Amino acid sequence: MESFGNKDEMDIPFENILPNKFGVRKNSLSLFIISGFFYFISILVFYLKITGEDVEENAELLYIILGTILLIVGIVTIENYWRINLSNNNSIKIIKKSPNKHEVDTFIQKLFEKRNEYLMNNYGHINPNISYENQLNNIVWLRKMKVLDDNGFQAKKNELESIFSISSKKIGF
């Protein structure tokens, strides 16, 4: 039996999922800087050793080992994930290669497809029993959420105006 997620699972309504994903790559820059500092110290100690200064035996080796350990920790702790924003200023974090890149990309694509399908089914149908303003707000919101493109929005708006017999004549400049 396969299991996904963990104890931190939560239900997120499709209405709260914003239409964009952002690639994020985080690392601990301080680990790389400290690692570089240790490498610099090891080079300095080695230089002092070959110029005849009194230096502790194998001191440069100690600094190289410390620098390498910090470099490895820095590389291992690099985070590479997709961030999908939510309407409540939170976000969904999806690791790009867990379990693998193809499955993650397919999951996100299906998530957005299901989201768009759900939003269209619940907010995209024109109903003469619901007020014009409410339905216009719905289709404007659907365009903002990138469920409708400009052509789809215009088609829905024309359908709405024809049901409510509203002329789209522009007055003014």
What's this model's pTM, rounded to 2 decimal places?
0.72
The C-alpha atoms of residue 164 and residue 166 are separated, in whole angstroms, by: 6
89: left (phi over 0), alpha (psi -120 to 50) or beta: left
Which pLDDT score, from 0 to 100, does residue 2 have?
46
CB atoms within 10 A of CB 107: 14
What is the per-residue burial (b if ≥16 Cβ within 10 Å, else e) of 120-138? eeebbebeeeeeeeebbeb
Which pLDDT score, from 0 to 100, does residue 1 have?
40
Domain ranges for the chain, please list them: 28-77
Which pLDDT score, from 0 to 100, does residue 19 have?
92
Tens of pLDDT, residue by residue, the chain (173 residues): 444 555 667 789 999 999 999 999 998 899 999 999 999 999 999 999 999 888 888 899 999 999 999 999 999 999 999 999 999 889 999 999 888 999 999 999 999 999 999 999 999 999 999 999 999 999 999 999 999 999 999 999 999 999 887 655 555 55
* HSE-up (13 A, CA, CB side) for residue 69: 7
The C-alpha atoms of residue 38 and residue 147 are separated, in whole angstroms, by: 53
